[in-house]
Amino acid sequence: MSENKHLREHYKEKTLFLNRVLISSLIGLFLLIIIVIRLIQLQVLEYDNFSQKAQGNRINLRATLPPRGSIFDRNGNILAENITAFQLEIIPEQVIDINETFEALLNLHLIDPIQIETLKKQIKKTQKFRSITLRSNLNDEEIARFAANRANFSGIDLKPRLIRHYPYKEYTSHVVGYVGSISKKDQLRLNQSFYHPDEKTGKTGTEYFNETKLHGKPGYYQFIANARGREISLNKDRKNNIFLENKQALPGANIFLTIDLNLQILATKLLNGRRGSVVAIDPNNGQVLTLVSSPAFDPNIFNENLTTDKYNDLQQNTDQPLFNRAVLGTYPPGSIIKPILGLAALQLGVTNLTQRHICKGYYSLPGNTHRYRDWLSSGHGSINLHNAIAQSCDVFFYEIGGQIGIDRMHDYLDQFGLGQKTNIELAGERTGLIPSTSWKKNMFSKKEDKTWFPGETVIASIGQGYMLATPLQLASATAALATRGQRYKPTLISAIENPINSEKIITESQKLNRIKVDSQSYWEEIISAMHNVMQGSGTAKNVGSGAPYEMAGKSGTVQVVSVGQEEEYDRESLDERFQDHALFVAFAPLNNPEIAVAVIVENGNSGSRVAAPIAKSIMDEYLGY
């Protein structure tokens, strides 16, 4: 009985084993069929497709960077160029010990200890055979130091590279700008197919605004790569060489600015590090002759391994050397607007060429005891429009400003381009502000703040209160006065040069709407009064008298802090940064103007004593005196 049972169990086990073998064989056969089908699909049916992909993986493209276009002034002086500099590079796979190597470089003062962790992270995420920059723009001493110790370093070497160089440093930093590494913000505005991650892009000034023109078009070359992307060489007789291409990069365009380098240097020296700005314009075409913001900075520092701490020091500097005051700085224009308001008063019939007003040294609104004081406490006595401009009588303009009204004042100043962008070829230009009743109504949320009060018109009549303008706007408005109403769009670009054939595209001047005035005599009266400011009995007579040419100007001194009704304004007791701003605008020659200038010296105290001599020196230089 037990023997039969044993035979039956043996039979079941054998049957189970055979079944398992059969099932396994079927599964194996099924998988083999799938593999065969897939191989047929890959090697026969989709051969062409995968062959092209394999070829694409094998033949790689590497970009060749285009030389950046140069920047010149109007006379051909080079303001931005490319020069060869040496940078320290590492190929990680050739370095035996990264930590020891960094330690040795630190001892030679060739790398910054702050950058080590960043460099290590970069090495980890980069293919080991690719070169990584450790330091750029090494000076002669650092080059010599590394060369003397070159034998101690494997995988590290000096490589020549083109870098941006600005020969005139602080003199042109704000108008030319500088280049820097591509940030995430830059990636949003740039065509990434044109840029290499290690490239630099314009950050400010002309470098930023004209990036697409200056950059050029990258080239490329094909190379054979292995599975890891490493470039490998081929025998010259290999047929695969027919796939290799080499397309040359196209250099960026050269840009000629309207700037006069001599004026840039002079204006910077005249400001002498004080906070302020000088802008000069050719009234006949809108070309900007000089655009200076002070204090300035050396743009070359951004090619000298600028650390985050050093950059933060620049940004946090209380004098704001990175801030372009010429187009970003907004200031109350003060008495600078008086000639324009005088013209408006004549045009609107608020006053005439002979009408006289009485200046007692203060002005009060009807039914109000508050006194709006004149800069001359004793008053100017009986005074007409001509002398009110020449002597800068505040009371005269308090009166006519109230009669003109804030909305008509806004409309007239608007015609001269105040309170609006000039659309010059620089990024971030501010609009300034010429207030109006509708502006205030829309600006404030509280009902009681929406009302425009008569006292605010009084203050606006001498260019203070809410009113703000940039130095560029003031220069442009002065140019419009010089031409008796013909305005031009301010421009910085004189010409763009093709680097291949040296052909230049000249920038045409762009006329704007002419300011309409009923009588030419109104223009001549205002300009005669401005002439009197500098070469008659006016506020800046000490600056303009004795000059070999005729000129016109207007001073402005703007309070930074206000004082109470009964308080004396003691300038000597005020902190330097609370002193009045000094402003001056001028143009020359009187009847055939060639240059219009606006000068602002922050906390300079007196427009006629501090800002006017700067404007006069700029005109002397440009006119050849």
Task: For the chain, give percent helix, strand, coil, nearest 5.
Answer: 45, 20, 40
C-alpha–C-alpha distance, residues 569 and 561, integer Å: 10
**3-class DSSP state of 21:** helix
Q: Say which residue the tokens 């308080």 belong to.
A: 567
What residues contact residue 182 under an 8 Å CB cut-off, 6+ apart?
Answer: 190, 195, 197, 199, 200, 201
> Which residues are CB-neighbours of 621 under 8 A, at least 6 positions away?
262, 263, 266
Instruction: Check residue 465 and give left, alpha or beta (phi > 0: left; psi -120 to 50: alpha).
Output: left
Reading the block at residue 239, the tokens are 């047929």
CB 244 within 8 A of CB 231: no
307: which 2 tokens?
């650390």
Query: One of 136, 335, 555, 617 is an active-site residue; which one?
Result: 335
- The strand pair at 254-257 and 71-72 is best described as parallel
Please name the amino acid found at residue 245: E
CB 444 within 8 A of CB 552: no
Q: Which residues contact 426 (CB under 8 A, 6 or more apart)?
A: 175, 205, 206, 209, 324, 327, 492
| Dihedral of alpha carbons 338, 344, 350, 354, sign | positive
Q: Cα dist. 456→201, 465, 580 in Å? A: 46, 7, 20
Integer Cα distance of 285 and 480 in angstroms: 11
**Residue linked to tokens 């200890």:** 113
Cβ pair 468, 330 in contact under 8 A: yes
Q: Which helix (H) or strand (E) holds 520?
A: helix 520-535
Q: What is the CA radius of gyration of the chain?
A: 36
- Confirm whether 136 is a catalytic residue: no
Q: How far is CA 86 from the centre of its chain?
A: 28
The C-alpha atoms of residue 300 and residue 176 are separated, in whole angstroms, by: 12
Sign of CA dihedral 399, 401, 404, 405: negative
Angle subtended at Cα 228 by Cα 224 and Cα 230, rounded to the nearest 5 degrees? 45
- Dihedral sign, Cα of residue 372, residue 377, residue 381, residue 386: negative
Q: Which residues are catalytic?
A: 335
